[in-house]
Amino acid sequence: SWAEVVFTQPQSVSGSLGQKITISCTRSSGNIGSDYVHWYQQHSPNRPRLLIYQYDQRPSGVPDRFSGSKDSSSNSGILTISGLQPEDEAGYYCLSACG
């Protein structure tokens, strides 16, 4: 049987223009290193845009102020946004294919 794995994000994160913020995606069980974490940005009602894939890989066209990492101590994937801009106000979602 499959064990349920839940990924939890903060409900909201705030910061001032120019600041650096982090958004966590914490895995409830198992190892955060077992399955890739990907990050999407969504300006509603537009479709989500891939920001980071495989923890820390950035697609071409995504500014380098967006970065990703994993934190084994908190069993989390981390999205970091440096130098906050007004257009960064959006929804951010982590995704992982556990298996």
Q: What is the pLDDT of residue 99?
A: 54
Q: Domain range holding 66?
A: 7-96
Q: What is the CATH number of the domain that holds 68?
A: 2.60.40.10
On whether residue 2 sits in a domain, the answer given is no
Tens-place pLDDT, residues 22-51: 999 999 888 888 889 999 999 999 999 999
More confident residue, 28 or 1: 28
Residue 33 placed within a domain: yes
For the chain, the domain total comes to 1
Residue 77 has pLDDT above 70, yes or no: yes
Residue 37 domain-assigned (yes or no): yes
The first and second tokens of residue 15, run together, are: 């910061």
The model's confidence at residue 2, banded by pLDDT at 50, 70 and 90, is: low
Q: Give the pairing of strands 76-81 and 66-71.
A: antiparallel
Nearest partner of 63 among 42, 90, 94, 88, judged by Cα: 88
In single-letter form, the type of residue at position 77 comes to G
Give yes or no for residue 1 having a pLDDT over 60: no
